[in-house]
């Protein structure tokens, strides 16, 4: 797989990474641990070198999974993890106090079975920590060069284009889109009749109500039309579109299935022409995506 450098940093990663969160939470009962270890190692064999986790995923067990899977391959890969959210009385709480960050670093290093964190994100801004301690992108970058910012970005969530992407380009910072397939919707395998197990968090997402899913099929139809011409899948076109946006963007689709992993990796070989991109842009400009991407309380916590 082709490699990309995140912004002006020297951190080189595979064009497509692998989000490991769903292997431990959010999308129903977590799969068998050994199967996920095998999947992660297969991803490395297929050329993926960029793996994403966080201490809050599980919590903790996702880092342990990634650490165990990648320990024999550590020199070949880049591991990204995150601090800034802890569990308190069963609730997630933002906490980026310096003493808490130190605890998080020590815990993540141990769980990931490594002595270095290649990429370390603040997961969520802590409103209780003064801005002098946790700076905005511009101010942080002036003190210590920021390698990358991770945020949601896809054809059905394009807010980063308004201010974030221009700022990152100006400052030479890489961008890592999570949910590049719209939590699975842009794969074309979900419609208004699809049901999710009770523990799947999409059950509480407004954008995943049956009505919203039915209305939002129009964006999938755009992807499907181009996919048919390219002998590809809607998911591959959605990822190829992201890769074509900027050379310093490295999406991290997640999956628990080998077939989906191979499908996603295949997107890196697809080249969208200028006409393809104009067609997508023209069609998307006439589509209004229905439903909020998160319930109100979760959206507030993103700080966006």
- Which sequence positions are flagged as catalytic? 57
Q: Cα–Cα–Cα angle for 111, 113, 116, nearest 5°?
A: 105
Closest CA to 179 of 44, 11, 19, 2: 19
**Three-class secondary structure of residue 262 per DSSP:** helix
Query: Euclidean distance between the first and final Cα of the chain, in Å?
Result: 33
Which structure tokens are listed for 188?
A: 């074309």
At 210, give phi and psi (nearest 5°). -55, -40
How far apart CA 122 and CA 132 sit, in angstroms, is 15
Whether the Cβ atoms of residue 95 and residue 127 lie closer than 8 Å to each other: no
Are residues 224 and 188 in contact, defined by beta-carbon separation less than 8 angstroms? yes
User: What is the DSSP-derived secondary structure letter of residue 200?
Assistant: B
Which DSSP letter does residue 263 get? H
Phi, psi (degrees; rounded to nearest 5) at 285: -65, -20
Tell me the chain's radius of gyration from C-alpha atoms: 19
Lateral strand order in the sheet of 50-52? 18-19, 50-52, 78-83, 119-122
């Amino acid at each position: 797989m082709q490699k990309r450098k995140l912004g002006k940093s020297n951190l080189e990663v595979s064009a497509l990474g692998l989000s490991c969160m769903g292997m431990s939470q959010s999308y129903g009962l977590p799969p068998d641990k050994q199967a996920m270890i095998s999947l992660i190692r297969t991803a490395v064999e297929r050329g993926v070198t960029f793996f994403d986790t966080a201490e809050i995923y599980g919590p903790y067990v996702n880092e342990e999974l990634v650490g165990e899977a990648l320990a024999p391959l550590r020199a070949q890969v880049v591991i990204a993890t995150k601090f800034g959210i802890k569990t308190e009385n069963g609730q997630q709480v933002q906490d980026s106090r310096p003493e808490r960050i130190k605890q998080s670093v020590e815990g993540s290093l141990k769980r990931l079975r490594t002595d270095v964190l290649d990429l370390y994100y603040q997961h969520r801004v802590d409103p209780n920590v003064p801005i002098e301690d946790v700076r905005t992108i511009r101010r942080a970058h002036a003190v210590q060069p920021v390698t990358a910012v991770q945020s949601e970005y896809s054809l059905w969530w394009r807010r980063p284009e308004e201010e974030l992407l221009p700022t990152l380009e100006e400052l030479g910072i890489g961008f890592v889109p999570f949910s590049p397939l719209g939590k699975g919707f842009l794969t074309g395998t979900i419609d208004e009749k699809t049901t999710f197990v009770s523990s799947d968090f999409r059950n509480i997402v407004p954008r995943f109500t049956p009505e919203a899913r039915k209305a939002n099929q129009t964006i999938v139809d755009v992807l499907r039309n181009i996919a048919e011409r390219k002998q590809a899948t809607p998911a591959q076109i959605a990822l190829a579109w992201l890769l074509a946006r900027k050379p310093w963007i490295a999406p991290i689709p997640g999956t628990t299935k080998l077939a989906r992993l191979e499908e996603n990796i295949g997107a890196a070989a697809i080249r969208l022409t200028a006409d393809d991109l104009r067609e997508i842009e023209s069609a998307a400009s006439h589509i209004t995506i229905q439903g909020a991407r998160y319930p109100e309380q979760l959206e507030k916590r993103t700080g966006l």
